[in-house]
Chains A and B, each alone.
With several copies, the nearest count.
Chain A
Amino acid sequence: MAHDGCMSLNVEHAPIRTLPSAKPLRLLDNAGHALTGAATGGFTLPDRETLLDLYRKMVIARRFDVQVTALTKQGRLATYPSAYGQEGCEIGAISAIGSDDWFFPTYRDCVALITRGLEPGEILQSFRGDWHNGYDQHAYRTAAQATPLATQALHAVGLSHAARLRHDPIVAMTFLGDGATSEGDAHEAFNFAAVWQTPTVFVVQNNQYAISVPLSRQTHAATLADKAVGYGMPGYHVDGNDVAAMYAVTHAAVERARAGGGPTLIEGVTYRIESHTNSDDPTRYRQAREVEHWKRRDPIERLEKYLVSEGALSETVRSEITDAAEALAAKTREVMSVEAEPDPLELFDHVYSRPRTALLEQRSALEAELAAGAFAQHEAGDR
């Protein structure tokens, strides 16, 4: 029970002091051509099977995203933050961890959750307004989606440090927005991870905006990856709309972390094509021109061009992918077509492990109200 021989927190790795490349690393250019040389930062294009898999996941994830946006417009969800346009970043990164690794997502990252195997109904419970979270954290090794910005990054650091203390070779990956990097918690997470050399991979999705605020109002750094230098950890500045590059860089970071090499900060440069959430009005703060520019840099089209040029995208494959995407969309529509009616008495069930007398009193009071028909109108589904 006393101090045994497990690895010491005294870390021997020298601080990394390399500046990330000023231009985002890229393995495929926007026309879908494979790149070589300096642009790649020494990373190599994943094999064809992997690329096909990434392509498939992106297509399916986008179909899901588009479907949920449509359902939201129909009023089926309280809110939905779309990741349309960010699939390269989301799916490149999430595909680099395994099912034993942990993922700490934000509200933005439903497409990563779908890719990770969560069910639409589980993911959307919170956005439909049933309960704050709808999936099993432990089963999926995926934390509840975080809303308070950057807070989840610390949870990822803590969890991965605990795993390291337990000698479990797992990695925690967390996503952050460009805006979230301004929060104190982002800094504390980077610093704790670097000092403790935890197996944590930080993926900053720089989608250029924090709601309405452009990156230039968020940082004066040349790249968000530059922040890594201040923590002595490796930082990578990556084209987030190049799923191949995102995958290659995050995969290397995950493997380094797993091998005891400590944390990595990866910035994926991307763009949020949709509004911040359905209740946002992006015309107030950005030009249609800019959106068009980014639409022409679509991550799915880019990989598709490459795969087509390589002859890797047969009609059979295409239609299998389309079918899978449509099946998911149908499932999503279906699960959202029935309004869930969460039980109001459950409000009291999870606050504490051991029931508190005062809460049980309040529960009884609500029970009596319900029995007396206080909310009868609502319970009849009349809303």
Chain B
Amino acid sequence: MNADTTTAPPAAAEAPAPTQLTMAGALNAALRDAMAADDRVIVYGEDVGPLGGVFRVTDGLQAQFGDDRIWDSPLAESGIVGTAIGMAMYGMRPVVEMQFDAFSYPAFEQMVSHVAKMRNRTRGRVTLPMVVRIPCAGAIGGVEHHSDSSEAYWTSTPGLTVVMPSNPADAYSMLREAIDSDDPVVFMEPKSRYWSKAPLALPVTTAPMDRAEVVREGTDVTLIAYGPTVRTALEAADAAVDEGLSIEVVDLRSLSPFDDETVGASVRKTSRAAVIHEAAQFGGYGAEVAARVTERNFHHLAAPVLRIAGFDIPFPSPKLEEYHLPTADRVLAALDTWEWDA
């Protein structure tokens, strides 16, 4: 401890100086702070204990909180989600981890038939305050089954709340909010952003979890993105400046519910919109975005809402993923297909 602390300005003690934090670090801090604040918060899953998770999001938590607050479960995802339901019924606030999107599939029945439906089935008597964390999407050179984008499965399921942060500050704030939520939350973490950094002073509270945010203002086009593609959208917006195109970027943050208000306001301003995601285009979440934005803003639209998405193929092997994933170039090329004089 620095003997000089008394000479430091008093404000410093209240608002800690920002430090560079990765998204993985921010998530780790959110779990740590949530566990410290509320002993009903428990964490389990595969390899979350001594290993700290394959992405180190739970690093150090078992050492701090012990084996009764955070532990390694047997290797069975339906078991993990199914037991979390029981724990949530008893008033705990379980935060469970699915190791990768594709490994949440064994838990599908528990997610759809119980997590999503419990509150409705019981006329609101049984709420499930639980969080299912899912490291998601690609661009990490992962071998087969390690880069799926599963969001559409969850967003198609009434009763689930589905969110995906794109940056460390949101990661912290939204995970805290998800844990505090009385309803179950599917918390999706874009793997390729785990090591992205931002200066952060914790605890940080960003916009409420169910709100989209305009992360860059523009006048000509609205790019709607979430998770890993927010960066892609921002890159495209940067590059478009040279072409004299002013792009507004909306980070959805919440996939379900969808923030019609924020997105609609942007689209009515720009009159053109495109949505970007990694998942295959056909039946992807972008379909809902495009359908919805069009339905509600048709007479404001000068052009169809475009979808810039993965191809309609299973996620490719590491050497081929770059051809599949949307890039800023591909976004700009897509915008060029519009009849700009229309």
Direct contact, A vs B (beta carbon within 8 Å): yes
Q: Which residues of A contact B (CB under 8 A)?
A: 1-4, 6-10, 78-79, 107, 126-133, 136-138, 143-144, 147-149, 151, 153-163, 165-166, 172, 179-180, 182-185, 188-189, 191-192, 195, 210-213, 217-219, 279, 281, 284-285, 340-342, 344, 346-354, 356-359, 362, 366, 369, 374-375, 378
B123 sits at the interface (CB 8 A): yes
User: What distance in Å separates the Cβ of B257 from its nearest Cβ neighbour in chain A?
Assistant: 5
A378, B86: Cβ atoms under 8 Å? no
B158, A2: Cβ atoms under 8 Å? no
A78, B318: Cβ atoms under 8 Å? yes
A185, B82: Cβ atoms under 8 Å? yes
Q: Quick one: closest A residue to B79, CB to CB? A: A188
Q: Quick one: closest A residue to B257, CB to CB? A: A356
With a CB–CB cut-off of 8 A, which chain B residues contact A183? 75-76, 106
Residues of B70-87 at the interface with A, using a CB-CB cut-off of 8 Å, are: 71-76, 78-79, 81-87
With a CB–CB cut-off of 8 A, which chain B residues contact A2? 36, 64-66
A129, B319: Cβ atoms under 8 Å? yes
Known: A144-B126, A211-B54, A374-B330. 15 other contacts (CB 8 A): A148-B145, A153-B82, A154-B79, A154-B81, A158-B85, A159-B87, A160-B86, A183-B106, A184-B76, A192-B73, A192-B83, A210-B47, A213-B49, A342-B320, A344-B320
Given A158-B82, A185-B82; A351-B120 close (CB under 8 Å): yes
B103 sits at the interface (CB 8 A): yes
Instruction: Give the interface size class of chain B.
Output: 35 or more
Q: Quick one: closest A residue to B92, CB to CB? A: A162
A8, B183: Cβ atoms under 8 Å? no
Q: Quick one: closest A residue to B333, CB to CB? A: A369
Question: Which residue, A184, A195, A347, has most C-beta atoms of chain B within 10 A?
Answer: A347
User: What distance in Å separates the Cβ of B271 from its nearest Cβ neighbour in chain A?
Assistant: 23
A192, B74: Cβ atoms under 8 Å? yes
B318, A191: Cβ atoms under 8 Å? no
User: What distance in Å separates the Cβ of B191 from its nearest Cβ neighbour in chain A?
Assistant: 13
B312, A358: Cβ atoms under 8 Å? yes
Residues of B35-50 at the interface with A, using a CB-CB cut-off of 8 Å, are: 35-37, 39, 42, 46-47, 49-50
User: What distance in Å separates the Cβ of A344 from its nearest Cβ neighbour in chain B?
Assistant: 4
In the complex, A100→B274 CA distance in Å? Answer: 53
User: Which of B123, B261, B311 is close to A133, meaning CB atoms less than 8 Å apart?
Assistant: B123
With a CB–CB cut-off of 8 A, which chain B residues contact A340? 319
B217 sits at the interface (CB 8 A): no
In the complex, A127→B316 CA distance in Å? Answer: 13
User: What distance in Å separates the Cβ of B88 from its nearest Cβ neighbour in chain A?
Assistant: 8
B122, A144: Cβ atoms under 8 Å? yes
With a CB–CB cut-off of 8 A, which chain A residues contact B66? 2-4
Given A163-B90, A213-B72, A353-B183; A148-B114 close (CB under 8 Å): yes
Q: Quick one: closest A residue to B127, CB to CB? A: A353
A137, B122: Cβ atoms under 8 Å? yes
A-B contacts counted at CB < 8 A amount to 272
With a CB–CB cut-off of 8 A, which chain A residues contact B181? 353
Given A162-B87, A162-B90; A347-B82 close (CB under 8 Å): no
With a CB–CB cut-off of 8 A, which chain B residues contact A1? 35-37, 39
B82, A374: Cβ atoms under 8 Å? no
Stretch at the interface among B167-175, B196-204, B231-239, B321-329: B321-329
With a CB–CB cut-off of 8 A, which chain A residues contact B49? 212-213, 285
A159, B126: Cβ atoms under 8 Å? no
Given A126-B143, A131-B317; A350-B78 close (CB under 8 Å): no
B298 sits at the interface (CB 8 A): no
User: Which of B75, B110, B311 is close to A213, meaning CB atoms less than 8 Å apart?
Assistant: B75
In the complex, A362→B316 CA distance in Å? Answer: 15
User: What distance in Å separates the Cβ of A358 from its nearest Cβ neighbour in chain B?
Assistant: 6
B113 sits at the interface (CB 8 A): yes
Q: Quick one: closest B residue to A143, CB to CB? A: B89
With a CB–CB cut-off of 8 A, which chain B residues contact A349? 123-124
With a CB–CB cut-off of 8 A, which chain A residues contact B88? 158
Per-position 1/0 for B17-61, Cβ under 8 A of A: 000000000000000000111010010001101111010000000
User: What distance in Å separates the Cβ of A140 from its nearest Cβ neighbour in chain B?
Assistant: 11
Per-position 1/0 for B144-167, Cβ under 8 A of A: 111000000000001101000000
User: Which of B67, B78, B84, B330 is close to A184, meaning CB atoms less than 8 Å apart?
Assistant: B78
